[in-house]
Amino acid sequence: MASQLDKALDDVDWEIIRELQEDARLSFRALGRRINLSAPAVGERVRRLEDLGVISGYRAQINPRLAGYPLLAFVELRCARGRCLLDTSSATEHPEISEVHKLSGSYCSLLKVRTTSLDHLESLLERLGRHGEIRSTLVLSTQHEDGRVSVPRDDWRSATRHTGWRRQ
């Protein structure tokens, strides 16, 4: 079943999203030419998408390796009672952390971190270890990375149907 937000986004909204994901620097006029709308109509739709929170910002995409952060790692963290990373520290204390995800399962958080060297990564892991048990994975190479979203399809929302266990 579609959420309220899915119903709020029509085909034109998805065209705008697709184009802005390709080039967020497009003017309303240029964007309008690509999707056959006037610049004022595009502006109104973009502002609505921003108000809904669908468009959450615009930023430059930086190549971390070329900017001096060649190492990428994922760190799973199982915080000790009273020492949760999210409750006892701040992002400014750990600028190497680019993403924090709360998890289900045996670890409570997954951190995406970027460092300048193995020594830098080791130092970060020592600091993070104060919060509890850690498990780290160093990324050797990234084969595919794409933060874009596309129009949701109904067949993506359905779980595979099964008939249950059968005795033979």
Q: What is the pLDDT of residues 82-127, one digit of tens each?
A: 888 888 888 888 999 999 999 999 999 999 999 999 999 999 999 9
Give the DSSP letter of residue 157. S
Closest CA to 108 of 88, 127, 134, 90: 134
Q: What pLDDT score does 162 carry?
A: 65
What letters, b where the CB count within 10 A reaches 16 and e where it falls short, cover 137-148? eeeeeeeeeeee
Query: What is the rounded average pLDDT for all residues in the chain?
Result: 89
Q: Which of 30-34, 78-82, 160-164 has the lowest mean pLDDT?
A: 160-164
Label residue 19 left, alpha or beta by phi (over 0 means left) and psi (-120 to 50 means alpha): alpha
- Which band of pLDDT confidence, cut at 50, 70 and 90, is reported for residue 129? very high
pLDDT at 149 over 60: yes
Q: What is the mean pLDDT of residues 8-34?
A: 95
**How confident is the model at residue 1, as a pLDDT?**
35
How many Cα atoms occupy the beta-carbon half-sphere of 8 within 13 Å?
Answer: 11
Is the pLDDT at 59 greater than 70? The verdict is: yes
What pLDDT is attached to residue 2?
A: 42
Domains of the chain: 10-59 (1.10.10.10), 71-139 (3.30.70.920)
